[in-house]
Amino acid sequence: MDRKIYGLLAEFDTATQVVDAARKIREAGYKKTDAFSPFPIHEMDEALGIRRSILPYLVFAGGVAGLLTGLGLQWFVHVYDYPIIVGGRPYFSLPSFIPPAFELTILFAGFAAVFGMLFLNGLPQPYHPVFNVPRFALATREKFFLLIETKDPKFDYEETKRFMHSLSPQEVFDVEE
Amino acid sequence: MQNAKDLNEIKKRIFPPMVEGNHTLASVSDKIGDVTLKKRTPFGWFVGFAIAFLVAQILLFTILYLVTKGIGIWGNNQPVGWAFDIINFVWWIGIGHAGTLISAILLLLNQKWRTSINRFAEAMTLFAVACAGLFPLLHTGRPWLAYWLFPYPNTMGMWPQFRSPLMWDVFAVSTYATISLLFWYVGLIPDFATLRDRAKNPYFKFVYAALSWGWRGSARHWHRYEIAYLLLAGISTPLVLSVHSIVSFDFSVAQLPGWHATIFPPYFVAGAVFAGFAMVLILCIPLRHWYRMKDFITDTHLILMGKVMLATGLIVCYGYAMEAFFGWYSGAQYELYMVKNRIWTGPYWWSYWLLILCNGLSIQLLWFKRFRESEFWLFLISIVVSIGMWLERFVIIVTSLHRDFLPSSWAMYSPTVFDWSMFLGTIGFFFTLLFLFVRFLPIISIFEVRTLLPEANVHGHHEEFEDNILMSQESEK
């Protein structure tokens, strides 16, 4: 073979079909798989065996970091670096410090959610082999795709291709590297 | 046993469809995407954009004059040291809140009707916050030094004063603007990918490709994407409530009669949502006509928004009643005088009664189905409510400040032409941004509308089970 293959891509017409096929792929023992759809399909997580992301923990950590930054900053400013009495309140006037600390909690948690999601997803990634399949442009419109990568230990070009055809897809494509 | 047709009718009655017409995954993508990609820009767009852009120039000239002459060109002076600059700031910020309510709170409450209006409501939020931010920024007098408001180590050895509600405002509004932008952008990523894959023009294709960050709709990506989206909604909900609460602290932390009231935070938040829904209606009624989006923004959407407006409007009316009650119940002579001065003996009594007419009486029409179902009346009531919410801030700020404790320091306030031109200019700026948004970005969230289609359901046994329950419940009746 003179061209390098990244994997095999099967096209499906409906969400129900793609989820059924994904279940069969998983039952057949393939691990390096992925599905592509124009909208999130909740059943797909279970069908492909996607483990729950650690993202919520990152967001929680972001929120805690924001809270500590907020309180620490205000403590540093009003107790340590430039203590000054305002309105007869103590140097560390917690009730007055809650709004900025709260806002920073939200801000850092929001950054963690968005940038954590992009980081874990490996985005931005302008190039990916699946884009080499012209029909793949429909994955953002109306079609559903399943991918088995060549990296999968069970992958064997002929056999895997036959297996994918058995899932009754519209078509099976070779994904070039 | 009844047949399938009956089942569909029952379903339709209990859950009115959020997408009308016979749409498929492909037709949804095409219909919304083509507004930006394919259709010729309608002539009306150029007319509207030109008008908005011209009005925005008024803002530019006002700012130029303001910066060269100083804020003395405005009408505010002692004792009314805050006037149009804070009225308009609160008005714009409040309008923005409906966008976050629709995108975040209604998502958490699993209200499916948010899906086709959240995108432009969020855009509205961003543009409204941009307009709002201009007012305090320019009121500082030297806007080029506005970065002094942020805590950063500097050679002056100075720090901001964190015990001040104005400082809280800086944190609240800047966080709100940032999180709203992130939320909006995250929602746009899959739609940018759709536009990338559909664009024929290579320049557009390149720009949308860059903006989509290589999104390819992978199941693993969607999994994390949905978690991030839900968490963003979860943190935006307390955020939006905190922002207008903090805005209300600008007033209620002060000792001034008319400002120093515990009702302020919830009353301001309700008012913000009230004004915001009015603005969403003002924008979406013409939009769905001009861009033929009635399949997505259905009459059901308008009716529901009318109901939200009625509910929040009534909370606001409760706020007005409580303000007067607090003044009377306190027994303090200054509070009592403030109420009397505001409502009937003072020179600004007319503004109070106009406010009650706009915000209290006009919305009572929404009790009736006839008015909720009429686009014309909803549009008219929304405009009246927008004016009313502006008057509310005028009443709270001007009637409280102009006569405080010492009669020797009483004075009248009247805005100058520059106060008006600045306000008008921000309206032009807001609509300029909106016209650009409508032209270049998908105005309705494409991937979320797809999830509303029957095609998006994965068929399984639970569905049949639910249908059976539904049928048996109906036959019992």
Predicted confidence (pLDDT) per residue in A11-41, tens digit: 888 888 888 888 888 888 888 888 888 888 8
Closest to B220 (Cα-Cα) out of A84, A13, A122: A122
Q: Quick one: which H or E segment has residue A144?
A: strand A144-149
Query: What pLDDT, in 10s, does the model give residues A35-94?
Result: 888 888 888 888 887 888 889 999 999 999 999 999 999 999 989 988 988 888 899 989
β-partners of residue B101 are none
Q: And the tokens for B243?
A: 């922002």
Burial class (CB in 10 A: 0-12, 13-18, 19+), B238: middle
Q: Quick one: which H or E segment has residue B475?
A: helix B461-476
Closest to B100 (Cα-Cα) out of B225, B239, B231: B239
Interfacial A residues in 5-24 facing B (CB < 8 Å):
14-16, 19, 22
Interfacial B residues in 154-173 facing A (CB < 8 Å):
157-165, 167-168, 171-172
Q: What is the ipTM of this complex?
A: 0.90
Are A41 and B458 an interchain contact pair (Cβ–Cβ within 8 Å)? Answer: yes
Closest CB from A39, A55, A97 relative to B224: A55
Are A125 and B214 an interchain contact pair (Cβ–Cβ within 8 Å)? Answer: yes
Q: Does residue B1 register a pLDDT over 60?
A: no
Instruction: Please enumerate in sequence order all residues whose Cβ is within 8 A of that of B159, keeping only pairs 6 or more positions apart, or say none.
Output: A77, A78, A81, A82, B151
Instruction: Please enumerate in sequence order all residues whose Cβ is within 8 A of that of A91, keeping only pairs 6 or more positions apart, or say none.
Output: A78, A79, A83, A85
User: Within 10 Å of residue B134's Cβ, how many Cβ atoms?
Assistant: 20
Please check whether residue B172 is in contact with residue B90, taking contact to mean a CB–CB distance below 8 angstroms: no
Q: Is A38 on the interface with B (CB under 8 A)?
A: yes
**Strands A5-12 and A144-149, bridge-based pairing:** antiparallel
CA end-to-end span of chain A: 13
Q: How far is B92 from chain A (nearest CA, A)?
A: 20
Q: Is A134 on the interface with B (CB under 8 A)?
A: no
Closest to A20 (Cα-Cα) out of A171, A167, A176, A173: A167
β-partners of residue A9 are A147, A173
Q: How far is B461 from chain A (nearest CA, A)?
A: 12
What residue of A is the nearest CA neighbor of B236? A106
**Mean pLDDT, chain B, as a whole number?**
86
CA B73/CA B82 separation, integer angstroms: 14
Please check whether residue B340 is in contact with residue B380, taking contact to mean a CB–CB distance below 8 angstroms: no
DSSP A11: E
Closest CB from A48, A59, A82 relative to B159: A82
Distances (CA, A) of B88 to B221, B389, B390: 41, 10, 7
Q: Does residue B16 register a pLDDT over 70?
A: no
Q: How far is A65 from chain B (nearest CA, A)?
A: 15
Residue for token digits 């207008």?
B244
- Chain B CB contacts of A34 under 8 Å are 218-220
Please check whether residue B128 is in contact with residue B93, taking contact to mean a CB–CB distance below 8 angstroms: yes
DSSP H helices, B146-255, are: 165-198, 202-212, 219-252
Report how many Cβ contacts below 8 Å link chain A to chain B.
201
3-state secondary structure of A121: coil
User: Within 10 Å of residue B355's Cβ, how many Cβ atoms?
Assistant: 22
Residue for token digits 């004016």?
B387
Instruction: Please enumerate in sequence order all residues whose Cβ is within 8 A of that of B411, keeping only pairs 6 or more positions apart, or say none.
Output: B77, B78, B79, B80, B402
Q: Does residue B471 register a pLDDT over 80?
A: no
Are A110 and B178 an interchain contact pair (Cβ–Cβ within 8 Å)? Answer: yes
- Chain A CB contacts of B171 under 8 Å are 99-100, 103-104
Q: Class of A5-50+128-176 per CATH?
A: alpha beta
Span A119-130, mean pLDDT? 86
Q: How confident is the model at residue B317 (pLDDT cuts 50, 70, 90)?
A: very high
Domains and CATH numbers, chain B: 76-150+158-414+441-471 (1.20.1630.10)
Please check whether residue B179 is in contact with residue B235, taking contact to mean a CB–CB distance below 8 angstroms: yes
Are A53 and B215 an interchain contact pair (Cβ–Cβ within 8 Å)? Answer: no
- Chain A CB contacts of B196 under 8 Å are 140
Q: Does residue A98 register a pLDDT over 90?
A: yes
CA B312/CA B306 separation, integer angstroms: 10
Q: Does residue B184 register a pLDDT over 80?
A: yes
Instruction: Write down the number of H helices and E strands in chain A.
Output: 5, 4
Q: Where are the domains of chain A?
A: 5-50+128-176, 55-120
Alpha-carbon torsion angle A106, B222, B197, B116, nearest 10: -60
Are A40 and B223 an interchain contact pair (Cβ–Cβ within 8 Å)? Answer: yes
Q: Is B242 on the interface with A (CB under 8 A)?
A: yes
Are A77 and B159 an interchain contact pair (Cβ–Cβ within 8 Å)? Answer: yes
CA B98/CA B121 separation, integer angstroms: 7
Instruction: Please enumerate in sequence order all residues whose Cβ is within 8 A of that of A5, keeping only pairs 6 or more positions apart, or say none.
Output: A150, A157, A174, A175, A176, A177
CA A131/CA A163 separation, integer angstroms: 23
pLDDT of residue B65: 93
- Chain B CB contacts of A123 under 8 Å are 213-215, 221
Q: Does residue A110 register a pLDDT over 60?
A: yes
Interfacial B residues in 25-64 facing A (CB < 8 Å):
25-26, 29
Interfacial A residues in 110-129 facing B (CB < 8 Å):
110-111, 113-114, 116-118, 120-121, 123-128
User: Within 10 Å of residue B469's Cβ, how many Cβ atoms?
Assistant: 9
Q: Is B194 on the interface with A (CB under 8 A)?
A: yes
Query: What pLDDT, in 10s, does the model give residues B63-93?
Result: 999 999 988 899 888 888 888 889 999 999 9
Amino acid of residue A65 = A
DSSP one-letter string for B2-42: --HHHHHHHHHHHS--SS-SS--HHHHHHHHHHHHHTSPPP
Output phi, psi for B60, to 5 deg: -60, -45
